[in-house]
């Protein structure tokens, strides 16, 4: 178990390190010199050299990367080339909006998806199950930005019970949260259902029935408990989806979160901000994968055995 965790953590660290290098390369992958992105084209050559020196662009590539990486540990992500303020200050104001949006959506999704998935697996093929399967097919085909638009048209334009965009009151979060939740609910239900179905066909469930246990006891004590592994995995695996959903939804509903910051920075080519947001997303994703891997390993000894046995 210990070696399994250590191995996972090492791979995770290597991934983050490589991503940080690639993200740093973004600055040089852009057409033109990084200095040109930071300043006006009319600036004299002398001034240009001075600014390049101030921003550290005159140093060798690897030294620049090292300085950037060391700075990040002190929450120094560099200076926005567009707004000429620290990138961290830009992000600090926006992070709460995104956390609120993603947090509520994640909670709502779990609260909805798990009971529905469980019910559909146990009562596979009944009317409700078929309704869920078919509607999740339809929702899989609806892009989240259009779902958001539709919700605005129905609830804000026609019924006028909710605001179109903004971020001042809790009412402003209702439609964005529904959008994110609905657009990922279908796949989450599908995964939950598939996992529960797999547990239902396990031999220990048959054994439990053979022992003469009542159906209810089998469901709660055996099936539900073993399906909890899925809950943990799903909780962490959903996060990348949530982040993507948030980027698009924030745009649709005019929420000033991290996603809006990323999109705006890409449009105006504010590379230091893009780098910082991408790195943050990558670290979050890797941490979530790591957490789900380790927790599944702890919760389900069979996975642990097969993984360490299969890889060593």
Partner 1 sequence: MKKKSYRRYSARSESLRMCLHNVDFMVGLIMIISVILIAVFAPQIAHYSYSKQGAGPRLTAPCAEYPFGTDELGRDVFSKTIYGTRIALWVAALGASIQLILGVTIGLVCGYYGKWVDHVFSFITDLTWCIPGTILALAVVTILGKGLTNVVIAISIVSWASFARPIRAKTMSLRNMAFVETGKAYGENGFSLMFRYILPNIIPSIIVMTSMTLPETILSTTTLSFLGLGSKSPSPDWGLALSKGMEYITRAPWLSIFPGIALVYTTIGFNLLGEGLRDVLDPQMRSR
Query: What kind and span of H or E run contains 56?
Result: none
CB of 45 to partner 1, least distance (A): 27
Indicate which single residue of 5, 7, 16, 224 sits in contact with partner 1 (rule: CB under 8 A): 16
Indicate which single residue of 142, 161, 171, 228 sits in contact with partner 1 (rule: CB under 8 A): 142
User: How many Å apart are CA 193 and CA 203, to the nearest integer?
Assistant: 18
User: How many Å apart are CA 246 and CA 312, to the nearest integer?
Assistant: 39
Nearer to partner 1, 139 or 209 (CB): 139
Q: Which of 233, 261, 215 is nearest to 97 (CA)?
A: 261
Indicate which single residue of 91, 106, 262, 294 sits in contact with partner 1 (rule: CB under 8 A): 262
Q: Does 26 contact partner 1 by CB under 8 A? A: yes
CB of 211 to partner 1, least distance (A): 28
Contact 289, 241 (CB under 8 A): no
Handedness of CA 35, 36, 39, 45 (dihedral sign): positive
Indicate which single residue of 5, 11, 39, 108 sits in contact with partner 1 (rule: CB under 8 A): 11
Contact 239, 106 (CB under 8 A): yes
Q: Does 269 contact partner 1 by CB under 8 A? A: yes
Q: Does 256 contact partner 1 by CB under 8 A? A: no
CB of 53 to partner 1, least distance (A): 26
User: How many Å apart are CA 199 and CA 230, to the nearest integer?
Assistant: 11
Q: Say whether 79 sits in a helix, a strand or coil.
A: strand
Contacts of 276 (CB under 8 A, 6+ apart): 77, 78, 87, 88, 91
Of 33-41, 102-110, 144-152, 303-311, the segment contacting partner 1 by CB under 8 A is 144-152
Contacts of 180 (CB under 8 A, 6+ apart): 101, 102, 105, 144, 242, 245, 246, 249
CB of 32 to partner 1, least distance (A): 11
Of 64-72, 172-180, 228-236, 283-291, the segment contacting partner 1 by CB under 8 A is 283-291
Q: Say whether 77 sits in a helix, a strand or coil.
A: coil
Contacts of 247 (CB under 8 A, 6+ apart): 258, 259, 260, 262, 263
Of 14-22, 80-88, 202-210, 222-230, the segment contacting partner 1 by CB under 8 A is 14-22
User: How many Å apart are CA 210 and CA 203, to the nearest integer?
Assistant: 10
Helices (H) and strands (E) counted in the chain, each on its own, are 14, 0
Q: Does 194 contact partner 1 by CB under 8 A? A: yes
Q: Does 101 contact partner 1 by CB under 8 A? A: no
Q: Does 75 contact partner 1 by CB under 8 A? A: no
Of 42-50, 134-142, 222-230, 304-312, the segment contacting partner 1 by CB under 8 A is 134-142
Indicate which single residue of 65, 145, 155, 167 sits in contact with partner 1 (rule: CB under 8 A): 145
User: How many Å apart are CA 236 and CA 243, to the nearest integer?
Assistant: 12
CB of 44 to partner 1, least distance (A): 28
What are the residues binding partner 1 (CB under 8 A)? 11, 15-16, 18-19, 22, 26, 29-31, 137-138, 140-146, 149-150, 152-153, 157-158, 164, 194, 240-241, 243-244, 247-248, 251-252, 262-263, 266-267, 269, 271, 274, 278, 281-282, 285-286, 289
């Amino acid at each position: 178990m210990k070696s399994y965790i250590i191995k996972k953590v090492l791979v995770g660290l290597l991934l983050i390190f490589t991503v940080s290098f690639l993200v740093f390369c973004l600055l040089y992958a852009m057409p033109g010199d990084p200095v040109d992105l930071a300043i006006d084209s009319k600036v004299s050559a002398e001034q240009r050299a001075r600014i390049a020196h101030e921003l550290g662009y005159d140093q060798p590539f690897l030294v620049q990367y090292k300085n950037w990486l060391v700075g990040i540990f002190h929450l120094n992500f560099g200076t926005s080339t567009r707004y000429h303020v620290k990138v961290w200050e830009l992000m600090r104001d926006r992070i709460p909006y995104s956390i609120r949006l993603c947090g509520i959506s994640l909670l709502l999704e779990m609260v909805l998806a798990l009971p529905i998935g469980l019910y559909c697996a146990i009562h596979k093929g009944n009317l409700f199950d078929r309704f869920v399967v078919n509607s999740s097919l339809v929702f899989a085909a609806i892009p989240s930005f259009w779902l958001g638009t539709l919700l605005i048209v129905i609830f804000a334009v026609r019924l006028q019970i909710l605001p179109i965009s903004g971020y001042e009151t809790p009412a402003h979060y209702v439609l964005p949260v529904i959008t994110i939740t609905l657009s990922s609910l279908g796949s989450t239900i599908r995964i939950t259902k598939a996992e529960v179905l797999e547990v239902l066909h396990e031999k220990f469930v048959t054994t439990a029935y053979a022992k003469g246990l009542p159906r209810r006891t089998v469901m709660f004590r055996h099936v539900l408990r073993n399906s909890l592994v899925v809950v943990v995995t799903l909780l962490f695996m959903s996060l990348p989806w949530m982040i993507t959903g948030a980027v698009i939804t924030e745009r649709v509903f005019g929420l000033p979160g991290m996603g809006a910051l990323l999109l705006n920075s890409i449009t105006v080519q504010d590379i230091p901000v893009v780098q910082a947001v991408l790195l943050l997303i990558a670290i979050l994703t890797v941490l979530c994968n790591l957490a789900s891997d380790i927790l599944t390993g702890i919760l389900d000894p069979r996975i642990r055995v097969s993984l360490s046995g299969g890889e060593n």
